[in-house]
Amino acid sequence: MIVDNNKTLQGIVINPGVYKGKAYVAGPDNDRPFDKGDILVIPHSNPKYSLMLLDAGALVCESGAVMAHICIVAGEIGIPCMTQVNDATKAIKDGSYIEVHADQGEVLVVG
C-alpha cells in the first residue's frame, strides 16, 4: 500500500517561478541558522525578514497584502513568491523539503 503524505497549499502568486528546497520556518522558536537557498516561510509580512531574501530561494508568506514591502522586495530580487498561503507555518515543518510552484499558486510539502 502506497501512502501519499504530500500536502498542497494554495496561495496568491506575487512573483512566478518554481523552486525546490529546504524550508526555513521563521518564528521566535527557530534558532537554526538560515542557509543560502532555503525557502523562507513567514507568518506575516514583515520588513525584518527582507535581508534574508538576498539568500533565499523563494518566499512563502502565510498572510500579507500583495503590495506588502517584503513581497515587493521578493519580486524585485526575482525569487518565486507567494502570499496568503493559509496555515503555511503550521503545515510546513522547519527543515522539510518543499516545492514552490508559484506559476500555479501552489506549495507542495514533500517531507
Mean pLDDT score of the chain, rounded to an integer? 90
Residue 68: pLDDT band (50, 70, 90) is: confident
- Reduced to 3 states (helix: H, G, I; strand: E, B; else coil), residue 57 is coil
Q: E strands of the chain, at which residues?
A: 7-10, 12-15, 18-25, 39-42, 58-61, 81-83, 97-101, 106-109
pTM: 0.91
Where does the pLDDT of residue 65 fall: very low under 50, low under 70, confident under 90, or very high at 90 and above?
confident
Cβ neighbours for 77, distance < 8 A, ≥ 6 positions apart: 53, 54
Which of these is catalytic: 22, 69, 94, 108?
69
Q: Active site includes 69? A: yes
